[in-house]
Amino acid sequence: MYLGCHLSSANGYLAMGQKALELGADTFQYFTRNPRGGSVKPLDLKDLSDLVDFLTKHRFGPIVAHAPYTINPSSVVEKTRNFAKLALTEDLERLQRFPGALYNLHPGSHVGLGASEAIDNTANLLNEILTPETKTPVLLETMAGKGSEIGRDFGELALLISKIKLNDQIGVCLDSCHVHDGGYDIKDRLDQVLETFDREIGLNRLKAVHINDSLNPQASHKDRHAKIGQGHIGLEAIAKLVWHPKLQNLPFILETPNELDGYKLEIETLRSLEPKKKKGSKK
């Protein structure tokens, strides 16, 4: 199990690896650009290759590069779709120099268009971008179904994936707050939720997990993250998720409302909750 948190990229690549190590993490997530979707800083190749060396040396797991959450690849507005295409293309081009990185994106919002057309738009856009040379896996995040978000249940993600031609490169990032808010009982029926995921999408597609507690009850479709143990999912259920025997080679990323010391504490707490019987088989 690899465990880490979302970090700011303000001080560059290597600084994120160093910060993660300080926090007791062996993975992390960062935004590929300003989350509000602006242009991207020039790429410092030396800094990136220093990070890659650092991560290898310290045996980090896969790193999650999160696309800005404001881009909407499913939009009916051509200009909005074109911006999404530009950002995704640029990000993926950069990530080719970052072995071990996973590229995570929100599938989009239909904004009145209807889910099925929106799913087609996102699939078409990804079909224009992905080539057999794209090495970085592209992960679609499970969404809470807030507003008109697509990817609000496993079926919608499965449908979207089925419409992407080069879908060998497509994976899923499961967000615990989102699936809980989306209506799945990960608190009391985690095994059943994972079985449903396996049946509808395939557990082989699951490449990363966002671990957040939720401020709202199951099926609320709200998407408000809480600190671990301070929401409706609870510490016990989240510890079960991160230590689930079927998920042990995945990166788990905290996106809880925390400063760095809060993340450090959550990482320590979750690591300390390793089930006793399974000790000795870490990673």
Residue 66 backbone dihedrals phi, psi, to 5 degrees: -95, 125
Show the tokens assigned to 40: 């991207």
Q: What's the CA gap between 22 and 40, in Å, rounded? A: 27
Q: Which is nearer to Fe ion, 125 or 254 (CB)?
A: 254
Q: Which of residues 84-103 bind Fe ion (CB under 5 A)?
A: none
- Residue 210 contact, options Zn ion, Fe ion, none, Cβ 5-8 Å cut-off depending on partner type: Fe ion
Print the binding letters for residues 121-150 with Fe ion: x by CB under 5 A, - otherwise: --------------------x---------
Q: Which of residues 249-268 bind Fe ion (CB under 5 A)?
A: none
Element (H, E) at 269: helix 260-272
Among 170, 223, 226, 252, binds Zn ion (CB under 5 A): 223
In the bound complex, what is the minimum distance in angstroms from residue 276's beta carbon to Fe ion?
30
Based on its alpha-carbon atoms, the radius of gyration of the chain, rounded to whole angstroms, reads 18
Q: Which is nearer to Fe ion, 26 or 141 (CB)?
A: 141
Print the binding letters for residues 200-239 with Fe ion: x by CB under 5 A, - otherwise: ----------x-----------------------------
Question: Which positions lie near Fe ion, rule CB under 5 A?
Answer: 141, 175, 210
Question: Which positions lie near Zn ion, rule CB under 5 A?
Answer: 223
